[in-house]
Amino acid sequence: MRTLVDLHNHLLPGIDDGAPDLATAISLAQLAVEDGITHMVCTPHIHPGRYDNTQATIATALSQFKQGLTERGINLKVSAAAEVRFGMELMEWAVTGQLPFVGEYQGKNVLLLEFPHGEIPFGAEKLIKWLISKEITPMIAHPERNKGIMAKPSKLKPFLQLGCLTQVTAQSITGGFGSACQEIAHKFLAEEKITIIASDAHNIQHRPPKIADAFGVIETLTNKQQADQIAANAAEIANIHFSQAA
Ligand SMILES: [Fe+2]
C-alpha cells in the first residue's frame, strides 16, 4: 500500500483562509486520516499584505495543532512549511533564512511557490533562476489552475526546463475544479509533468483533505507504477520533516 503524504494544505488553525480554528483543523485532520493520509506538511499562505505569516506564526499554529491531535489521539503526523506567494521579497527571505521549505529533493530545499492565479508574473523565470542558483528548487503550486497556463499549457515548459517541480491538486484530477482544469491536469499527467499531487485543503465542504480518489484516477489513466512514483515523490520530499521528528 502506498504511503499518502499531503504536502500542500491549509489545516493550521487561524492563520490564513484555511481552518479558522482548532476545532475545524481537527475535523479536517480526521477526514485526512479517513482518506488514508498519514503525514501532512501544512502550508499556510505567506502572501505579503494579505497573509503576513512568518516562521514564528506558523510554528505557533503548528504546536497548537499538534497538541490538539495528541489530546484527541488522532494518528496523523504533521509538520509545517508554507505556500509562498511569488514576489521579490523572496530574495531577501532566501538570503536571511526566512523561507520555510516543504522539504528536500535531490539535496536541494524545495519551496512551494504560488503564482497569481490569473497569469505567470513578469520576471518569473528570472527569479526562479536566481532561486535555483541559491540551491532552492521551486515547486510550482497547482499550475493546472493558473489561467495563463490553462490558456497555453506550453507556458509551463520553461519552468520545467529550469528544474522546477510541480504540485497538481488532487481535486483538479478528479474534476472538482471543472473540466478545463481537469483536462490540463490529465494532460500533464500523460506527459509525466506531475511531481506530486496534494489536497490544497481549505475546508470540509468544498476543499477537503482528500487525495486517495485522485490516485485512483491516476492509476486508471496511467498505471500503478506512475501512481506509486507520484506518491513516492511526495514521501521523499517530506522525509526531512519527519525523519528528524522526536
Ligand atoms: Fe494552497
Question: Residue 173 and residue 85: Cα distance in Å, rounded?
Answer: 23
Ligand 1 center from residue 78 Cα (angstroms): 16
Instruction: Pick the closest to residue 41 from 104, 108, 106, 121 (CA basis).
Output: 104
What is the tally of helices (H) and strands (E) in the chain?
10, 10
Instruction: Pick the closest to residue 3 from 37, 30, 41 (CA basis).
Output: 37
Ligand 1 center from residue 114 Cα (angstroms): 8
Question: Residue 230 and residue 96: Cα distance in Å, rounded?
Answer: 32
Question: Residue 158 and residue 237: Cα distance in Å, rounded?
Answer: 22
For each of the chain's 246 residues, which pLDDT tens digit applies?
A: 899 999 999 999 999 999 999 999 999 999 999 999 999 999 999 999 999 999 999 999 999 999 999 999 999 999 999 999 999 999 999 999 999 999 999 999 999 999 999 999 999 999 999 999 999 999 999 999 999 999 999 999 999 999 999 999 999 999 999 999 999 999 999 999 999 999 999 999 999 999 999 999 999 999 999 999 999 999 999 999 999 644
* CB 54 within 8 Å of CB 82: no
Task: CATH number of the domain at 159, please.
Answer: 3.20.20.140
Using DSSP, state whether 126 is helix, strand or coil. helix
The reply to whether the predicted model has a pTM over 0.95 is yes
Ligand 1 center from residue 83 Cα (angstroms): 6
If one counts the domains in the chain, the total is 1
Single-letter amino acid, residue 240: I
Count of other CB atoms within 10 angstroms of residue 77: 16
- Name the residue range of residue 211's domain: 4-243
Question: Residue 139 and residue 33: Cα distance in Å, rounded?
Answer: 25
Question: Residue 166 and residue 185: Cα distance in Å, rounded?
Answer: 11
* CB 42 within 8 Å of CB 78: yes
Ligand 1 center from residue 17 Cα (angstroms): 9
Which DSSP helix (H) or strand (E) runs through 46? strand 45-46
Ligand 1 center from residue 22 Cα (angstroms): 18
Q: In which order are the strands placed within the sheet that holds 77-80?
A: 4-6, 37-42, 77-80
Ligand 1 center from residue 13 Cα (angstroms): 14
